Amino acid sequence: MLNRRWWDLGALAVAAVTVLFGLAEPPYGPGDWGAWAVAGVFLVLYFAYLRGGIGGEDATRHVVITIVLAVVVGTGVAYDPSASILQAFAYPFIWITAPSTRRAIIANVVIALALLAGYLVHFGLGAWLAGLTVAGLSLGFSIALGLWITHIASIGEERARLFDELQAAQGQLAAMHREAGVNEERARLAREIHDTIAQSLTGLVMVAQRTENRLATVEGAAAVAARGDVELIEQMAREALTEARGLVASLMPVSADGGLAAALGRLGAAFERETGVRVGIEADATGLDRELEVVLLRCAQEGLANVRKHAQASRAQIGVTAYVDRVELTVRDDGVGPGARTGDPAAPGGFGLAGLRDRAALVGGAFEFGAAEGGGSLLRVTVPRKEQG
């Protein structure tokens, strides 16, 4: 309806029909010449000014458009009643350029009055009934059709809005399904590792301890070497068991139900039970988008997994601070610091913090990792703030 090419075609068509009506009844007189002149002026005004109002809602411009079309219709009919074909363009154009329904109806009345005035000028005051009938019928048809089309358009806009909301809801539902699937797979992997690798490593540690106890009563250089080998086996098995348990802890999904602060509290309590490392929680961020809460929670989980594997710490601190435009997560420990760690994931080729980098980047965030003031390490993740929708 707002395609200007169709309106261009319509303007040319009504102007051409006005001229053809006059040409169909020779001889030609002043009325015909006047009607043709009005048609030409109409085209000039349309392409110079009226066309720019298509798709706009400028009230002042609409008033000017109404006046211009009223003068064109009234003047054309005053010269030749066949020029009333111009109203076929004027009434719809008034509707599509009106900023409101009320203004469109008022403009329609103005066009109808101009049409009536043109009839009275051409035929005299005695033709007032015929002119009133024609103007009234045109006005009634225009208002009825305009209100119907406006109603249909409003229904279409409402359906488009509902369709957009449905698509957004479907996208959110798909994201929730993907998240649920990822969490379920992580939980499955964690159970598999716990029930297979971790159990096997636990059995290996017990066998190494039992073998060491049996070799304690055996003398000789071979026995000493065997005890050394068994101690090495036990040490390697314990380290592997620690890694497996850390992997299980990092894979287990943590629910963000109840808010980010409550979820971090559960995460810290579980970590403290498993490792003996005390975990403090300071989180004042509320009302965040759930996706953002999940990202921050997973980052905190990865940070604690890093503490478990490398820090040799006795205490860790998780902090969440919300600013106007961003949210900042910090994980601090009092361990040996990144420079003294073995197999530090911050080193080139490490995977621990690389996963954090990718996770933060998914929501437009970034992270920093390094030594903390006073010893230990500090992990900081900063993401743009997103309120709960």
Q: Which of 110-114, 231-235, 384-388 has the highest mean pLDDT?
A: 110-114
Q: What is the predicted pLDDT for the residue at 106?
A: 93
Reference 134, options 67, 73, 189; nearest CA is 73
CB neighbourhood size of 354 (10 A): 13
Q: Is the pLDDT of residue 348 over 50?
A: no
248 and 198 Cβ atoms separated by less than 8 Å = yes
Helices and strands per DSSP (H, E), number in the chain: 11, 5
First to last CA, the chain: 34
Query: Distance between CA 72 and CA 42 in Å, rounded?
Result: 7
Q: Which is higher by pLDDT, 142 or 237?
A: 142
Rounded average pLDDT over 7-23: 90
> To 5 degrees, how large is the angle CA 242–CA 245–CA 249?
135
Spatial CB neighbours of 222, under 8 Å, sequence gap ≥ 6: none
pLDDT tens readout for residues 155-198: 988 898 999 999 888 888 887 788 777 777 777 777 777 677 77
Global confidence as pTM: 0.49
Query: Distance between CA 285 and CA 289 in Å, rounded?
Result: 11
Q: What is the predicted pLDDT for the residue at 344?
A: 45
The percentage of the chain sitting over the pLDDT mark of 70, rounded to a whole number, equals 90
Q: Is the pLDDT of residue 257 over 70?
A: no
Q: What is the predicted pLDDT for the residue at 342?
A: 44
Q: Is the pLDDT of residue 24 over 50?
A: yes
Q: Is the pLDDT of residue 281 over 70?
A: yes
Q: What is the predicted pLDDT for the residue at 196?
A: 72
Q: For residue 151, with 0-12 CB atoms within 10 Å meaning exposed, 13-18 middle and 19 or more buried, which class applies?
A: exposed
CB neighbourhood size of 160 (10 A): 10
Rounded average pLDDT over 53-74: 90
